[in-house]
Amino acid sequence: MPDPKPKPGQEKGPGVPGGLRPRLVPRPGLAGEAVYANVVRISHAPSELVFDFAHSLPGELDVPIKARVVLSPLSAKLLQRALADSLAKYEAAFGVVNVPQGKSLADDLFRSPETPKPESE
């Protein structure tokens, strides 16, 4: 059987029957829908990793989950590799992304809200 011809937006890649990578096609009703998240909770079981994404505002104690992504361990490892590659390209184009030092990242993400200081008169 000859190799199928790639469709527009599709490229050749290893590990896919016929050597073609699948195209991502928007599902009706989801086109253009995006979820902003500044918090992610990651949990795992032997067969999967679960990523719960949320948007937290200062002072909120209950933060609703906006999206849940469940991945196999292999898919999570491939995502890790893809994120590292994409961040390296981002930093090459826009500069290094600095992670706060001196305390844990969780301290910055999950600290208690600070009370605003009164303005001096």
Report the candidate in 4, 39, 49, 115 with the shortest Cα–Cα distance to residue 12: 4
Residue 47 to residue 73: CA distance in whole angstroms: 7
φ and ψ of 85, to 5 deg: -65, -45
Structural domain contains residue 40 = yes
Indicate whether 81 belongs to any domain.
yes
* 6 within a domain of the structure (yes/no): no
Q: Which residues pair with 45 in a beta bridge?
A: 48
Residue 21 counted as domain residue: no
The answer to whether position 29 is within a domain reads no
Using one digit for the tens of pLDDT, what is the confidence trace for 68-106? Answer: 999 999 999 999 999 999 999 999 999 999 877 766 656
pLDDT digits (tens, 9 = 90+) for 33-59: 788 998 899 999 999 999 999 998 888
| Structural domain boundaries, residue 48 | 34-110
Distance of CA 44 to the CA centre of its chain: 16
Q: CB of 6 within 8 A of CB of 20?
A: yes
The total number of structural domains that make up the chain: 1
Whether residue 104 lies inside any domain: the answer is yes
Examine residue 96 and state whether it is found in any structural domain, yes or no.
Answer: yes
53 found inside a domain: yes
